[in-house]
Structure formats: structure tokens, C-alpha cells
Amino acid sequence: MAQDDMAHFIQRRAFRRYCGALAIGEKRSLSRIDFEEEENGRPYLLDFPNLWFSFSSSRFGFLGAWSSTHAIGVDLEDETRKVEPGELAQHFFGC
């Protein structure tokens, strides 16, 4: 793994742990926050099955969201990639 890729991986994992700590009100070390993943890759905390998490990252930053009432999803797109809104809606919502 290239050095930049490794740094991004470490930052992404730290960001997830930070968001997890905020979501559950954890004040201890972030190393105690460990996410598991469902078969489809959706992250979750073992001890908090009623929290829905979603994370996305690009080379420009990180985005995280969580909800205690609904499934949630976020996506952070690289600004240099051309995405047509209509194609995106068709792909995800069948519009």
C-alpha cells in the first residue's frame, strides 16, 4: 500500500471511531470504538445495534452520519469526477 493510501486509511479509521464515540457519548480512548461490517459493507457497532452509520471519503475529506431512527446513507464525490444528476438519480432511485 502506498504511503498516501496508508495515511488515508488511518485517517478514515480514526474519523469513523470519532463519529462512533460522538454517537454513543463515549469519553474514553477512540481505540475502544471498533466497527464491524455487515455483508454489504454497512458499518455498525456491536453493542449499539439500533444506530445506523454511513461513511464516505475522498481525497478531499471525510463525511459521516448516523441515526437512531432510520437507515442512512451518505456519499462524498470527488469534484473532479463528472457525474450527471439525472444519471445518478436513475441509478439509485430508478427515476
The helix/strand/coil state of 20 is helix
Evaluate if pTM is beyond 0.85.
no
The helix/strand/coil state of 24 is helix
Helix (H) or strand (E) run with residue 33 in it = none
For residue 66, the model assigns a pLDDT of 97
- C-alpha cell of residue 75: 456519499
Q: How far is 62 from 12, CA to CA, in rounded Å?
A: 7
Q: What is the pLDDT of residues 8-59, one digit of tens each?
A: 999 999 999 999 999 999 998 999 999 999 998 899 999 998 899 999 998 8
For residue 49, the model assigns a pLDDT of 87
Residues 73-87 have a mean pLDDT of 78
pLDDT at 1 over 70: no
For residue 62, the model assigns a pLDDT of 94
